[in-house]
Structure 1
Amino acid sequence: MAFGSPSGPPAGARQLAQLLELVQSAGHVDFKDARGPLGLTQRQSNGKFTRDEAEALIGLLEAEQESRRLEGEATTDGADERPGGGPPPDEPLRLSRGERQAAEAALKLKDVADDVLAAELQRRGWVVMAP
């Protein structure tokens, strides 16, 4: 794999459109504007995401949007809500690189078989029990 090349299949057009909509509802103009606050790479700020990267970022942005919506319902009557589904953000959303990497890692763990995951946790000293 060449330096800086994506490590998976590219995200589809629908996924990118959904991601751009979420980035804009988080208070950013486009991917380039969100590069620093969301910790995007130069490749990602040009709108080039792998499926896994896009899915992880969509999950994070949807969770943040939902928490902002719930905060807005708790503090206001919702009269000044935007058609996008939530109150306007006070400031653009910022995510740390660690938050993004944790979301991508959690997404990858969904594909790992239970017995393999349990064996790895036991190897690291954890006690594992079946549900």
Structure 2
Amino acid sequence: MTKIFMSILVFILPGVLMAAPISAENVKCTAKYFEVLPDGNARKAESVLKVTDDSTAHLLLETELEGRGYVFNGPKKNGPYMLTISKAPDYTFGSNTTGEFSAEGRLQVSVVEGNIVHKLECYRR
């Protein structure tokens, strides 16, 4: 009986914990901008994404930074989640990707444009 109980804990419980719903309280996303200047110095900026939709089934976080819109978008029950980095103000040129949080609780996408990197990094607690 103990072996059965231990098997349940070892094999089933981690999957149940990873499938726990997301919320505005346990997902934090940050937009990051990094530019290498001609003189070798770097220019950096960051902005935390703000909750713009928090319904019973859906979570949407957004911000703008250095001429780009950054979006985390997805269902609360389970993924996949969409990350978007697009050029403001029309948001018709950019990058979308879908994915799941890693075992460490991290999900990210980066867009490289020459000496500039735009990164959207999200953590699930």
Normalised by the size of structure 2, how large is the TM-score?
A: 0.23
Higher relative contact order (CA 8 A, sep 6+): 1
Which is strand-richer, 1 or 2?
Answer: 2
Q: Judging by fraction of residues, say which structure has more helix.
A: 1
